Amino acid sequence: MTSSMFRSPCKIPSVKGFEQNSYVGLKAASYNVRVNSFKSSDVASQLQKIESALIWPVNAPEAPPLPSKLAEPLIDQPLQLSRRARRNRKCPTQRDAFQETNISPANLIYPLFIHEGEVDIPISTMPGRYMLGWRHGLIEEVARARDVGVNSIKLYPKVPEAKKSPTGEEAFNDNGLIPRTVRLLKNRFPDLVIYTDVNFDEYSTTGHGGIEREDGVILNDETIHQLRKQAVSQARAGADVVCTSEMLDGRVGAVRAALDAEGFQHVSIMSYSVKYTSSLYGRFRKVELDKKTYQINPANSREALLEAREDEAEGADILMVKPALPSLDIIRLLKDKTLLPIGACQVSGEYSMIKAAGLLKMIDEEKVMMESLICIRRAGADLILLPFLTSTLQSCFALSLYLSSFVHIQEPLFVVDLIY
């Protein structure tokens, strides 16, 4: 049955104590939200039967009154238990003391999407995120991230169609968008840690992660020949970590050899060792393409471990898993099987689902975002590529940075109980 649709403007609500212009990654903007209107269906009729008193908005200012306390005990004697786990959860101080998983700004990498122009352009599939002008908008966003302690970023370019080609020569143009941006940022923020994408699809006319033959086959070795030059160009511009993000056989070893040959032994490689053919990818890339011949089937875990071991043997310094939340088991698997740091990439689809549900008041966006973050850390991720950097993160990290100025600790820890 075709459902009728209408569009209604929706704005990001302001948070007390934070103006919208203080959000990192969020700007005041209107979004079109499509709402299904039920006409006649079993679901609609059932919804009408639900007593309105049982429905309570997520962010309602006052909760319904609680039932009164028991007038008299229900049992004569308490259970004779040798251990009651709830004793360690009875007050906030103890809960904070026993928390096993913590997060610091050093655990986060902030993805930034850039283009050749000067105007910041909204990304329609990621409410609140912008394609930043490579100079002014980008500089402002990096400064805001650094203000809350996040000093690692990853750059994603939007390459003009006119500069794309079947063999992606623009990817290793030393005066291209990424090298120019890296030089600009390093000149302004010398200690900023910059991750760059060694990837072919943004520079290819086909949108694939490799050179495509006439019959549709993705050429492995020929593409890696180009990726080697791309990685060297990025390292020459000042990139700290190059990310081999397309799953082509032998790419890590080839890139490591190319970097070392050019004197960039200090430049790290973060390999996207486990990149599933997920439906959660999107943003501005051609997501309808079939990339199953080089990305992993989401049903497979042993294959993921095999790929990760191969990348480690070829010289990867960090192993990345993408997407993050659907792959918590894989993050834990790699954490148990390797001594290398593990990264997790929270992709655009994960961000957009939380964002959309929050805008529609179906969930508390901030709490769900933080819960997803702590779950990724709990699974074993040392680094998280995180599209969210909102007011809650700002307030918590600012508090942790403030407290750390009075004590001698290496990293300011932020406790999740501060928000829950």
The residues annotated with a catalytic role in the active site are: 275, 322
Q: Which stretches of 199-351 are assigned E, i.e. beta strand?
A: 211-212, 218-219, 241-244, 268-275, 318-322, 342-345
3-state DSSP helix/strand/coil % of the chain, to nearest 5: 40, 20, 45
Q: Letter for the amino acid at 277?
A: T
Could you report how far apart the first and last alpha carbons of the chain are, in Å? Answer: 41
CA dist 231 and 222 (Å) reads 15
The residues near 408 (Cβ < 8 Å, ≥ 6 apart) are: none
Pair of tokens at residue 125: 């599939």
Q: Strand 30-37 and strand 152-157: pairing?
A: unpaired
Q: Strand 211-212 and strand 218-219: pairing?
A: antiparallel
Do 401 and 147 form a contact (C-beta atoms < 8 A)? no
Pair of tokens at residue 387: 């599209």
Pair of tokens at residue 206: 């086909």
Closest CA to 277 of 303, 293, 296, 249: 296
